[in-house]
Amino acid sequence: MPWVVTRLCRDNVDTACAGECPVDCFYIPNEPGGKYPNQLMISPDECIDCGACEPACPWEAIFQDDSVPAPFQDDIAVNAKCDEDRDAFTNAEEKDNHKPSPEEVAANKKKWGL
C-alpha cells in the first residue's frame, strides 16, 4: 500500500518528507506547473510503505493510498505519473523550506476542499 502526496503539496513543495524516505521514492516534475503540477509525487512502484514521510510533511499532504480523502482521489493517478513518464521527473532532494504555520496549513486545506 503506497503513500500518496496530495494536492495539499501543490505550490507548497516542501522536501522534508523526501529527506525521511529510505528508498528515495519522491519525485518532482522537471518542469513544475507544465504538464504536471508543481508538487512532489511518490513512486508507487518504489514506495516500501514505511510511512516515514507522513509525519515529516509540514503541509499534512501525505496519505496511504486507501486513505486518501475523497477530494484528492485523482492525486493517486497523478503520483503514478512519475513511474509512467520517468523522463519528466527528477528525484526530489531535501532542502530548507519555509515551514508553514498551523493557520497556513488550515487555509491550504480549506482552499482544496478538506
Q: Is the pLDDT of residue 72 over 90?
A: yes
Q: Is the pLDDT of residue 74 over 80?
A: yes
Domain limits, the chain: 3-111
> Where does residue 31 rank: exposed (0-12), middle (13-18), buried (19+ CB within 10 A)?
exposed
C-alpha cell at 114: 478538506
Q: Is the pLDDT of residue 1 over 80?
A: no
95/75 Cα distance (integer angstroms): 23
Give the torsion sign (CA, 77, 83, 86, 91). Answer: positive
Condensed to tens digits (0 to 9), the pLDDT of residues 80-102 reads: 999 999 999 999 998 888 889 99
In the chain, the percentage of residues whose pLDDT exceeds 70 is 99
Give the helix/strand (H/E) hosting 75: helix 74-84
- Per-residue pLDDT averaged across 46-70, rounded? 96
Return mean pLDDT, the chain.
95
Q: Which pLDDT score, from 0 to 100, does residue 33 have? A: 86
Q: Which pLDDT score, from 0 to 100, does residue 45 have? A: 96
The correct CATH number of 3-111 out of 3.40.50.620, 3.40.50.20, 3.30.70.20, 3.40.640.10 is 3.30.70.20
